[in-house]
Amino acid sequence: MALVPCQVLRVAILLSYCSILCNYKAIEMPSHQTYGGSWKFLTFIDLVIQAVFFGICVLTDLSSLLTRGSGNQEQERQLKKLISLRDWMLAVLAFPVGVFVVAVFWIIYAYDREMIYPKLLDNFIPGWLNHGMHTTVLPFILIEMRTSHHQYPSRSSGLTAICTFSVGYILWVCWVHHVTGMWVYPFLEHIGPGARIIFFGSTTILMNFLYLLGEVLNNYIWDTQRKPLSWQDMKINFMYLGPSS
């Protein structure tokens, strides 16, 4: 029942997300005390998504270790349900939302950091925590995709789910503005209503694109027809063919 490196890595990633969430929640920032608290920021929602996802990954690994060789059909059925939940969450939430947060944050930050992450926040959030929220999410999710095969849902149901999430978050941001008179992100204050509609529509399209990108990437990584033969495969083939061939 020994743990393999990828299982240990998932535990380490889960612990890192728990640490990031705890440190982030411990920061006393004015925005945390206003309507919606931390839940109005997509970065925080994404951290929760990633922590829950890797928690499910760790639970799946433990269940797999405990179920292996037991012959209990009920436990195997429960394990399959857990694996299906893990795969669905990576496809619909963990990958597209995680990549979206990293890409959009750093693009806007490079253009004008005051529009997305004002310099004032440096007094509250240390650099390592900022990278934990906006940088390491990408390599962590790519490592997970590379180390485990994930079965994507049907494309129609997957796109419907990510659209529902995107539109739901946009409506939540608009509701916060309606209640408080303030936009969650500073740059929304500097653009007109038409530009906001275009931006919100573009982000929904981008989320859909990232879902499709994740599906393509997953299929590319785990497409056995594309995978080159390993040395063990070549040795088996040689033994099968025999020296006379």
Residue 69: the pLDDT is: 66
In a domain, 33, yes or no: no
Number of domains composing the chain: 1
Q: Dihedral of CA 166/167/168/170: which sign?
A: positive
pLDDT bracket for residue 74 (50, 70, 90): confident
Q: How far apart are CA 153 and CA 26, in angstroms?
A: 37
In a domain, 240, yes or no: no
Output the six-digit token pair for 177: 């503005």
Residue 139: the pLDDT is: 95
In a domain, 245, yes or no: no
**Per-residue pLDDT tens digits for 230-242:** 444 434 333 333 4
In a domain, 136, yes or no: yes
Mean local confidence (pLDDT), 5-18: 92
Residue 78: the pLDDT is: 85
**Per-residue pLDDT tens digits for 198-221:** 999 999 999 999 999 999 999 999
Residue 75: the pLDDT is: 77
pLDDT bracket for residue 21 (50, 70, 90): very high
Q: Which residue has the tokens 């990278």?
A: 131
Output the six-digit token pair for 129: 């925590």
Q: How far apart are CA 98 and CA 210, in angstroms?
A: 10
Residue 240: the pLDDT is: 36
Residue 207 CB contacts under 8 Å (≥ 6 apart), including other chains: 96, 97, 100, 162, 163, 165, 166
Mean local confidence (pLDDT), 38-63: 94
Residue 244: the pLDDT is: 39
Residue 3: the pLDDT is: 55
**Per-residue pLDDT tens digits for 139-170:** 999 999 998 889 999 999 999 999 999 999 99
Identify which has the larger pLDDT, 25 or 68: 25
In a domain, 34, yes or no: no
Identify which has the larger pLDDT, 235 or 191: 191
In a domain, 150, yes or no: yes
The pTM of the full predicted model, rounded to 2 decimals, is: 0.85
**Per-residue pLDDT tens digits for 95-145:** 999 999 999 999 999 998 888 888 888 888 899 999 999 999 999 999 999
- Can you give the residue range of the structural domain that contains 79? 6-24+42-66+74-226
Mean of all residue pLDDT scores within the chain: 86
In a domain, 94, yes or no: yes
pLDDT bracket for residue 43 (50, 70, 90): very high
Q: What angle do CA 172, 176, 177 make, to 5 degrees?
A: 120
In a domain, 35, yes or no: no
Residue 115: the pLDDT is: 84
